[in-house]
Structure 1
Amino acid sequence: MPLILDGKKVRGEIAKTLRRKVEAFSPKPKLAIVQVGTNKESSAYVRQKKKFGESIGVLVDYLKAPEFITESELILKLKELNADSSVSGIIVQLPLPSALSVEKTINAIDPEKDVDGLTAVNEQLFKEGKPRFIPATARGIIELLEWYHLPLFDAKVAVLGRSKLVGAPTALLLKKKGALVTVCHSKTPNTKTITRRSDIIIVAIGKPKLITAEYIRRNRTQTVIDVGINARTEVGEAKLLEEIPRSVIVGDVDFDEVKDKVAAISPVPGGVGPMTVAALFENVVSAYEMQTVPV
């Protein structure tokens, strides 16, 4: 059996540290989460964030905007939150309706409260090696690897996916840790060769169970980090001679096929997802501390 990289367990340890910090704060940090529309998956993610935040003593305002809100109305709301001194951090839950510009919306957030690290200002600071906030999923991935003492310096790492949210910032963080990083995307011709030669494979492509044993070498020395969260319908057990469809969450890696061929692997759910939430609130606490430093 491989080492299972248990994000829930690590999140619990991070929560203890954050809770001790927050207990000493007065007033308490506050995160404002803005969601546009009623996307079920988005709502579920927001509830997870709210639950975790409140468990460590952070106040969480869950602000729901109607799907037909205009861009100017949404930006006005964000500016109000920017001006509210009780709000330490602001995130806009993605995705947004197609009528709204993600770029304009995100860049309306005060960079000092942009705890997702997605504004142009914070993205540039991150690239320059002076990050105000590290994007939560990228931070969570690195913390998960380091928690289990998996070496990054001189490690050959394949990052599958180059999104602004996950792939690109994760690759940059790994390079800063001294890893030898190769980023693969849909047009990369020799992805399987690259992954087989890698010590660590990080998969963030949004395609369920795409990564099979063909991408893995045979000596059980590799670590696989699965960032994918894909909802799909599978057939459950029969009842009254009828097959029952059920919705399940699967990763970008075929866990059952790959797990016995690697040294360590993160599960879905329970791996990177919990780490992303924990990392977000590490950023919230950092934002609070930066905003309350005596002048």
Structure 2
Amino acid sequence: MSTIPVPGEPALPTIRFAVGTGGESLPPAQVTLIEQSDGSIKFKVTGDAASTPDIAKVAADACEEMTPPDLDLEGRFLLVANALRARFEAQGYLVQELPSADVMVTAVFDLRTGRMVGRQQALHDVAPLDTKIAERVNLAILEVFQKGPLDLAVEIDRLIDLGDHAAAAAAVIDGRSGMGFFGELPLVLFEALQRINVLVLSAESEKKVRMSRMAVAASLNKFDDAETDAQAILDGSFFEGPAESIKYTRRRQKLSATPDLSGTVLPLCLIPNSALKSAPPFKSVMPKASACVGLPA
């Protein structure tokens, strides 16, 4: 018995069967029993096989004839599931219990290269793999990468229009630890960052905003703009000691040539070893690592 998660509610127990004649070219019907939060039990039958309507009728007739004894919810649910399975088998159908899902989709980022690799693994042999799943997951992840920086740019512009440069700087600092600087950075984020008047900020906020602007400028090959903020940081009293200043100077030298924006990227989820062996790979995507990775906190 598995569970179906419902946002904001306890997970609902569910049992799934594949039911078919064994001689059809299409996958067998899937019968799902779900125990509702009020104690009732509902079922649904899905499938394209010719026998699906007959299977649905057998299930409906069986459920109408059942009068479950006075058991607790779990006991009553299992009793109904077992009785329904027995009815299918008595009618000559082949019955196979299924897990709560058909396919497991996983994705992982290579922390060294920033490359995303996703895989899909069938959890049973009844339904074929959907070859479009990988493409849809890739697109969904790319949209997440694009959304963070775009949302941050909109928020910065909104706060600047209100004249609140300190709040805009705070949004930038928050974005450094979230998705605001993740993936391929758009020009609108650079333009929004350039609107912040850093001269009215505290020294620490000015330093972090300038570092963020520098990194975004470098990622967009706007090295003159990156150099401007880099020089302002070196000219100011932003460092606690010579060691930090030297470390930053080396980073500035890299920015003046080819920017080093590599670093750890956000892992979505781990891929189990079992999935790596047999699952077909997704098309890979190459999101850029966060432009702010590796910047001083």
TM-score normalised over the length of structure 1: 0.23
Richer in helix (by share): 2
TM-score normalised over the length of structure 2: 0.23
